[in-house]
Structure 1
Amino acid sequence: MSRGSGTKEGTLRGCEAFCASLHGAQLQPLFDYLPGVYFVAKDRAGRVMMANNVAVQLCGFEREEDMIGKTDYDIFSADRADAYVKDDNHVFETGESVIDHVELAPDPHNSINWFVTTKIPLYSDEGEIVGLACIARNMTSAHEKLRPYMEMNEVLDYVRENYADPIKVEDLAKIMHLSSSQFERSFKKVFKISPTKHILNVRVRAACRLLSTTNDTIASIALEAGFYDHSHFIRNFRKVMGLSPREYREGGREIPW
C-alpha cells in the first residue's frame, strides 16, 4: 500500500478515470446529503478518489480536492492508518466486504468517537476490483440526533396500540410528564406535524390496511380505525389520501407508508 500521494495532476487524472469507470460522478452529490455519514472511495493504492463533505471535514480538510490522492497515512496517525489499511487489504485480496465493524476514530477536535464502518469492493466493467467504498457512521453524534425521537417512543407506541380508542392530547402529554402546550410544541418540533395530525395519519393507515385486506363494510372499518362516525371517516380519509375510501378500495391501492 502506497504511503505517498503522487503528483496532484496525475492523481486528478486518475480520479476522473476512476469515477468514470464506476459511474460515480453521477452519484457523488447524493453522498453529501447523507446526514452524519462519512463516505470515501479509494483506488487499489489506497488513495482517496471521492469523499463527501462529512468525510472531508472529519479528516480536517476544507475541500474534497484537498483530500483527493491522500492515503490513510497522509491523514491519520500511523497506528490508526495501519488498522484501516488492514481492513482495506482484506477487501482487495478476498473481495469480501467488511460489514458494521465497530472502531474508535478521532475527529477534528481530537475527540475519540465510536464509528460503525462498512467497506465494500468496487469492480470495473471487466470484473476486476479497482477500489473500495467506505461508509462510517458516528454513533456518538447519531445518538444525540436520535435522542428527541427516542424520547417520544412511548407516545408513538401508545398511539400505535390505542388508535381505535379515543386519544386526547392531554393523555399523551401525561406520558411525557409535560403540559399539553409543552407537549404539542415538543412533538411538532420533532416530527413537524401536530400530535392530532399524527393520530389521524395512524388511523388512516389502519383504515387503508383494512380496506386492502378485508371485505368489511366502510362503516365498520371507520369504527375499527378509530373514527367516531361514517362521515367523519370519509371526510378525513379524503383529506389525507386525496380520494374516498371506496375509491381507494376499488383502485386496489397498496397500503401507504
Structure 2
Amino acid sequence: MIRAFLNQLDQPFTGEALFDHLPDIVYFIKDAQGAYLVVNSTLQQRCGLQHKSQLLGRTPCEVFRAPLGNRFQEQDQRVLATGKPLLSQLELHVYPSRAVGWCLTTKLPLTNQDGEIVGLVGVSQDLQLPDYETDEYQHVATAIQYAEEHLSEPPSIPELAAQARMSRYQFDRRIRRVFGLNASQWLLKLRIDQAQQQLHETDDPISAIAVDVGYADQSAFTRQFRRTTGMTPQDYRRTGKQKS
C-alpha cells in the first residue's frame, strides 16, 4: 500500500524538503560508495557552502578534513558492508564552518527490491542544553555535582543513582529527560567535555588530562576521544590553537 502511494507522487520522496525545516537535524542519503545524494540545508550551512550541489557526489573525506572525514567514511562503510545500523551514536561534530556541537547520529542501510544494500540514510540530531530550573534537573543535581567532582575516578551509574536516592532505572530515566541521553552517554559526555576544556585552556600533558578525566592511561583515553570526536587529543588541541 505504501509503495503504491509513493508511486503516485510526481517526484520521488526523499524527505529533503521536510528536513530543510528542522535546523537542529543534519540529514543525508548516500549511495553505495558513501557519496552524498541528498542533503538538507542544515548540513550545507554547517559545511559553510552556498549550495547543496557542492556536497552532492562527494564523500565525507572530500568534504571534511582529516581525520574527521575518515571517521564518517569508516562509519558509512561499516553500515554498507554489514547492513547493521548505527543507532544513537553520541558524537562531537566539528564542521568546516567551525560550528561545533554534540549530537546523536543514526545511520540505516537502504536496500533495493532484491535485498542488496545500495546506500544509507542518516540523521544527526543536536543535543539541547538542559533547563537547569526544572524539577527534573533538581532531582539529579546532587548526582551531577558528585560526578563532576569525581571525574578522576568516575563513579558508576549505580553510585550516581544512589547519590540521587533513586534506583538505576529511575536515574537513567531522569537523565534522559534532562539531557536527551542515557546515563552512560551523559557520563561519557561529561568526561569528554572536561577533557576538551583542558586541551584548549591548558598545556597539561595529555597523559595527565587522561588521568584527570578517569582513564587508566593515555592510550585508552585517546581511543575513546577519537571515537567520540573523530580526532586524537593532540589533533583537537592543535585545531583549537589554530582557531584562536
**TM-score range for the pair, normalised by the shorter chain length:** 0.3 to 0.5
TM-score by length of 2: 0.47
The structure with more radius of gyration: 1
How does the TM-score come out when normalised to structure 1? 0.45
Greater helix fraction, Structure 1 or Structure 2: 1
